[in-house]
Amino acid sequence: MASNPTSDSTNGTKDSSNGTHEVAPSSIPRSIVGDQRKVALITGITGQDGSYLTECLLSKGYEVHGLIRRSSNFNTARLDHIYVDPHNSAKARMKLHYADLSDASSLRRWVDSILPDEVYNLAAQSHVAVSFEIPDYTADVVGTGALRLLEAVRLAPKPIRYYQAGSSEMFGSTPPPQSETSPFHPRSPYAAAKVAAHWYTVNYREAYDMFACNGILFNHESPRRGENFVTRKITRAVGRIKLGLQTKLFLGNLSAARDWGFAGDYVEAMWLMLQQDKPGDYVVATEESHTVEEFLQAAFGYAGLDWKDHVVIDERYFRPAEVDSLRGDSTKARSVLKWKPKVGFHDLVAMMVDNDLEIAKKEKVLVTAGYMNPQQQP
């Protein structure tokens, strides 16, 4: 498990487990420590995209700083395999700091302290259905939070390139295919807040001549996807059903169609946007669309199961306003960024099912040993 991040203090950084220690070189301008490698700051670093982007940037020689929220539970599992204790300064090129998009002072402090070359704003309350339950919070973090970070970047004492994570959900009821010129018609508080963040980014680019880009990423999945998202919910259920730990899977709208790609491919597009001569907005997509039912068929079929034997429709999982079909037109990204997806739909599904079968095997051991209740799932 990754250690706690450092928090700012008057005389140094503070590690909650080891007390106060010296300010790390990462808190000092690079001109002082003589390190000329590029520096990136990522919000939402502990999420699916944040972890893949961190891997991508580290592989390119970057020093990576991540802002994470304070939590009573560790929330850094996706980073454990690349985490190095900050006391090992020779090897620790990823560092974590406490901040929140709802707290402008923390954003300004870390931007000014780290002075990154690039900022990637990936943090969000990103669950569409949950945004209907907590709309105020979603709007504050997703929409106004982006504005707070843009302002911190604008006021920094050096030019910083900024990436804003958009979403295909912004298109909502606009018919496919959707491109950079398609109108937005959001159908959820989350999507509406993302539209606000998108236009804040455009406004700051035009008003202050900032290098600020919007990446309008269509659905991107992986074994690191949160388990309350439909794709991962399905593949987790496949693993558990295959191992006899679960019998039923409850879902909502099976006819919703999405353009699903691999998150590891999409973070490369984020990075490419900030390497261009001019800033711009880009749709990132596979240009293929599949329904939830097709995803079920692929996932259950890969494991030798019939989804119809296990899936139950639950009205609670239908959204107040549905988005029927999303399929991106990524012509601009392919021509300007020279980007294209590497992992296809069926390979993506297989990757996720394989991962969740392994997790289910470990759970089976715990159940057999009496450490887990096999009736936790119906």
**Is 129 exposed, middle or buried (CB count within 10 Å of its CB: 0-12, 13-18, 19+)?**
middle
- What's the alpha-carbon Rg for the chain, to the nearest Å? 21
Q: How far apart (Å, rounded) are the C-alpha atoms in residues 326 and 169?
A: 8
Q: How would you classify the pairing of strands 161-167 and 212-217?
A: parallel
Q: Report which of 95, 117, 112, 106 is spatially closest to residue 40, judged by C-alpha positions.
A: 117
Catalytic, out of 190, 200, 204, 282: 190
Chain centroid offset of residue 82 CA: 17
Cβ count within 10 A of residue 359: 16
244, HSE (Cβ side, Cα atoms, 13 Å): 4
Bridge partners (DSSP) of residue 287 are: none
Check if 190 is active-site: yes
Chain centroid offset of residue 133 CA: 20
Check if 167 is active-site: yes
Catalytic, out of 55, 63, 118, 169: 169
Bridge partners (DSSP) of residue 217 are: 167, 284
Cβ–Cβ under 8 Å, residues 42 and 66: yes
Catalytic, out of 167, 188, 222, 289: 167
| Residue tagged 């991040």 (tokens) | 5
Phi, psi of 162 (to 5 degrees): -125, 130
Bridge partners (DSSP) of residue 63 are: 39
Alpha-helix residue ranges (DSSP H) falling in the chain:
30-33, 48-59, 104-114, 128-133, 135-138, 145-154, 189-208, 230-242, 263-273, 292-302, 331-336, 345-368
Q: Report which of 57, 116, 77 is spatially closest to residue 264, judged by C-alpha positions.
A: 57
Separation of first and last alpha carbons in the chain: 30
Check if 169 is active-site: yes
**Is 166 exposed, middle or buried (CB count within 10 Å of its CB: 0-12, 13-18, 19+)?**
buried
Q: Report which of 263, 103, 130 is spatially closest to residue 190, judged by C-alpha positions.
A: 130
**Catalytic residue numbers, as ranges:** 167, 169, 190
